[in-house]
Amino acid sequence: MATITKFEDLDVWKLSRKIVNNIYELTKCGDFKQDYALRNQIRRSGLSILSNIAEGFESGTDKQFARYLKIAKGSAGECRAQHYIACDQQYLSQDEFRNLKRQLITCSKKLSRLISYLDGSSNQVRDIDIIYET
């Protein structure tokens, strides 16, 4: 693995930034912008993915970084769950739903791989080999 010197170079951070921008774009339109609770919660969970990757990287140790990545991965799951609610409420088109779902699943997989790398074992993250439904 190439040496990364700043969190902005991490592919998973770049993807999480795209996810957050996508969420902000989707939540400022139509009925979604009026559902303050869901809008704010899905934004916060997306921001948590991005922020925990950065905070963990800056923590300075692989162990701490892995811990923050696990939090980020949990936030990706939370965000995906809220994403289903947004779809159920018809705040998203099917294309918007599929696109964000794909991004969130990819993010979770990338986080799993990075956690596994930092932990030194592919068996430490329970879903590294799970194939998510797409």
Q: Fold for 10-119, please state it.
A: de novo design (two linked rop proteins) (1.20.1440)
Both structure tokens of 26? 């989707």
pLDDT interval class at 134 (50, 70, 90): very low
Average pLDDT taken over every residue of the chain:
90
Q: What is the pLDDT of residues 90-127, one digit of tens each?
A: 999 999 999 999 999 999 999 999 999 999 854 443 44
- Which residue did the predictor score with more confidence, 130 or 19? 19
How many Å separate Cα 52 from the centre of its chain?
10
Q: Residue ranges per domain, the chain?
A: 10-119
Amino acid at 15: L
The reported pTM is 0.86
